[in-house]
Amino acid sequence: MVTLEKLVELPAFGRIVLAAGKSGISRAVTGVNVTESVDWADFFKPNELLVTTGITMGNDPEKLEEMVAFACGRRAAGIVINTGPYIPEIPEAVIRFADSQHFPVFQMPWDYRVADFIKITVQFLMIEQGKEALSQQILAELLFNPGMDRAYMRNGLFKLGFGEDADYGIIVCTQDTEKPDMLPFAQTVEDVFHARYAQYLAGVYEDQIIYLVDRSKMRTPDIPFARAAAKIQESIYKRNMESLLVGMGNFYRDIAGIHKSYHEAKMVIQLAKRQAVPPICKYKEIGAYKILMEVKDRERIAGFHGDMLGNLYRYDELHGTDYVHFLKIYLEEDGQTAAISRREFIHRNTVLYKAKKLETILDADLTRSFTKTNLSLAFMIEDILQ
């Protein structure tokens, strides 16, 4: 993804100053457009960098404020304001707004030719978008084609900046909904991961945002992944957006491991959707699930699940009860009556009654740690099989 941060490194930006919205400098930019009024709104698209001279504004700062707010609302990448006879200076209100909305506002001197700026910017974007198309092709092959030509893929990764010592890992971001729209989340995720990883590829594939990252080129190696992922959730929460599930696979030196890392990351997401693990985690932290996933004989572990929980599921189905749910809470709270009572909003005597009923249905002693371990294992198998 081409970002404003890459764009401002161009010589064409040498005399252009970032006046506000510095925290949004990693916004994606897909094009450049000239606009002189909010009435021209239909002529620009989201993620375009806008340029204005203010020729139709008649030195009215309120019209400029309106344009900047409108551009921000329409998800423009940012705006370049050509200060001169029509806009003598950028109003303080525009600067405050841009800073509060993380919306980059640039100041261009009047003697800088707008046409030259647009030409250089368009040429740069065309080159970068060509590289991006290559990166999308390579990422798709690495993720979805385990029989890929490894030599070709390795050469492609080298062209994109991944070195011989690259340590590859996959991060998957998605929502726990039927048909999630991931594009609104892409910029938020990009902001956080761009600050963390110096080398990565990114792509949006249907219901997932997928990152191939290089752990050997981390900008913040001392900050744990969980903290970076929590930052994503915090940013999403501030924007009143629904929460995001984030899962990381293991890291591998060989590119053949990228496909495996992708499936590990998806497994983390699957478990997170079932609330079996914290909503943000790494594959290496899912504990005993890794052992269960390596079991090739699925019939055997399914049989174990049936032996442990089959009677309880049948009882609930026949009597319309919720003992399976109660057993999960019982195990999570380690059988502590007071804790279960508070969590389920039921009297402690009801907890004791239900616990005894569970023992009858399961024909098991719930005070034994071995019994509780086996029941917990059965629920973990259920998470994997579903």
**pLDDT over 90 at 234, yes or no:** no
Phi, psi of 29 (to 5 degrees): -130, 130
* DSSP β-bridge partners for residue 130: none
Q: List Cβ neighbours of 385 (8 Å cut-off, separation of 6 or more).
A: 298, 301, 302, 305
Whose CA is closest to 88, among 126, 120, 58? Answer: 58
pLDDT of residue 283: 86
Cα angle 295, 298, 302 (rounded to 5 degrees) comes to 115
Considering only CA atoms, which of 127, 128, 107 is closest in space to residue 51?
A: 107
334, amino acid identity: D
pTM above 0.75, yes or no: no
Q: Write down the pLDDT at residue 148.
A: 81
Tokens at 321, concatenated: 């009860």
Q: Tokens standing for 174? A: 């998605």
- Region of poorest pLDDT, from 51-65, 274-288, 306-320: 274-288
E strand or H helix that includes residue 157? helix 150-159
Residue 132: what residue type? E
Nearest by Cα to 35 from 27, 24, 26, 44: 44
Q: What is the pLDDT of residues 82-118, one digit of tens each?
A: 999 999 999 999 999 999 999 999 999 999 989 999 9
pLDDT tens, 132-188?
A: 888 888 999 999 887 888 888 999 899 888 999 999 999 999 987 777 777 677 878
